[in-house]
Amino acid sequence: MAEMLQGFAGTSDDQEFYLLSPPGYKIGATKYVVVLGSVISGVGKGIFSASLGKVLQDKGLAVSPLKFDGYLNVDAGTLNPYRHGEVFVLDDGTECDMDLGNYERFLQKNLSRENYLTSGKIFTMVLDKERRGGYLGKDVQFVPHVTGEIIGFLRELAVKQRADVVLVEVGGTVGDVENSYFIEAMRELAYAEGEGNVCFVNVTYIMEPPSTGEQKSKAAQLGVKRLQGQGIQPHVVVCRCPTPLEQKVREKVSVHSNVPLARVIGLEDKRSIYEVPAHLRKSGIDQEILRILHLTGKDDSVPAKQWEGFVSRVLQPKHEIVVGITGKYTKVKDSYASILHALEHAGASLDAHVSVKWIETTEIEQGASPDDVLAGVHGIIVPGGFGKRGTEGKIACVRHARERRVPYLGLCFGFQMAVAEFARNVCGLQGANSTELGETPHPVIDLLPEQHGLAKVGGSMRLGGREVKLRAGSLVQKLYGSSTVRERFRHRYEVNPAYIDALTQKGLLFSGEAEGIMKLLELPGHPFFVGTQAHPEFRSRPLEPHPLFVGFVAACQKTDKSGRAAGRDEVRAVQAGD
Report which DSSP code applies to 164.
S
pLDDT of residue 442: 97
CA–CA gap between residue 188 and residue 138 (Å, rounded): 20
Helix (H) or strand (E) holding 498: none
Helix (H) or strand (E) holding 375: none
pLDDT of residue 209: 93
CA–CA gap between residue 412 and residue 519 (Å, rounded): 9
CA–CA gap between residue 162 and residue 27 (Å, rounded): 13
Residues 386, 352: contact at Cβ < 8 Å? no
pLDDT of residue 14: 56
Which of 193, 421, 436, 537 is flagged as catalytic?
537
The fold adopted by the segment(s) 320-450+461-575 is Rossmann fold (3.40.50)
pLDDT of residue 450: 64
Bond into 547 cis (ω within 30): no
Examine domains 31-298 and 320-450+461-575 and report if their fold is the same.
yes
H-assigned helices in 132-239: 147-160, 180-193, 218-229
pLDDT of residue 428: 97
Q: Is 556 a catalytic residue?
A: no
CA–CA gap between residue 157 and residue 155 (Å, rounded): 5
Other beta carbons less than 10 A from residue 180's beta carbon: 14
Its CATH architecture, for the domain 31-298, is 3-Layer(aba) Sandwich (3.40)
pLDDT in tens, 288-340: 999 999 999 999 999 999 999 999 999 999 999 999 999 766 666 678 999 99
pLDDT of residue 137: 83
CA–CA gap between residue 539 and residue 22 (Å, rounded): 31
Angle CA 326–329–335, to nearest 5: 105
Dihedral angle at the C-alpha atoms of 556, 557, 558, 560, nearest 10 degrees? Answer: 90
Among 330, 340, 215, residue whose Cα is nearest residue 274: 340
Which of 199, 241, 412, 427 is flagged as catalytic?
412
How far from 141 is each of 126, 135, 145, 416, 505, CA to CA, in Å?
10, 10, 6, 48, 64
Q: Is 427 a catalytic residue?
A: no
Which mean pLDDT values do the consecutive 10-residue runs of the chain (578 residues) have?
A: 48 68 95 97 95 98 97 86 81 94 97 97 96 90 95 98 98 93 97 97 96 93 96 98 97 97 97 97 97 96 97 96 83 82 97 94 87 94 82 94 97 96 97 94 87 53 93 98 96 94 97 95 97 98 98 92 44 38
Q: Is 412 a catalytic residue?
A: yes
The contacts of residue 314 (CB under 8 Å, 6+ apart) are: 272, 274, 344, 347, 348, 353
pLDDT of residue 76: 86
Centroid of chain to Cα 542: 13
Among 111, 123, 2, residue whose Cα is nearest residue 49: 111
- The residues spanned by each domain of the chain are 31-298, 320-450+461-575
The contacts of residue 229 (CB under 8 Å, 6+ apart) are: none
Which of 235, 526, 535, 546 is flagged as catalytic?
535
